[in-house]
Amino acid sequence: MKYRFVTIWQIEAPLEDVCKAISHSLSWPLWWHNVESVVELSPGNLQGIGSIRRYTWRGRLPYRLTFDIRVIHIVPLASIEGVASGDVEGKGCWSFTVEGSITIVHYEWNVDTTPIWMNLFSSLLRPLIEWNHNAVMQQGGKALAHLLNARLLVVAQP
Break the chain down into helix, strand, coil percent, rounded to 5: 30, 50, 20
Residue type, 105: V
Give the model's pLDDT for residue 136: 98
Q: What phi and psi values does residue 133 have, to the nearest 5 degrees?
A: -60, -45
Q: CB–CB of 75/93 below 8 Å?
A: no
Instruction: Give the range of the structural domain holding residue 152, as residue numbers without chain letter.
Output: 2-156
Give the model's pLDDT for residue 21: 98
Structure confidence by residue, pLDDT tens digits, 105-133: 999 999 999 999 999 998 899 999 999 99
Give the model's pLDDT for residue 17: 98
Q: How many domains does the chain have?
A: 1
d(CA 157, CA 101): 22
Residue type, 147: L
CATH number of the structural domain spanning residue 48 = 3.30.530.20
**Cα distance from N-terminal residue to C-terminal residue, the chain:** 20
Closest CA to 86 of 49, 61, 111: 111
Round the CA-based radius of gyration of the chain to a whole number and report it: 15
Cα distances (Å, whole numbers) of residue 124 to 3, 117, 119, 134: 14, 11, 10, 17
State whether residue 134 is helix, strand or coil.
Answer: helix
Give the model's pLDDT for residue 86: 98
CB-based contacts of 121, cutoff 8 Å, min separation 6: none
Give the model's pLDDT for residue 158: 87
Spans in the chain with pLDDT lower than 70: none
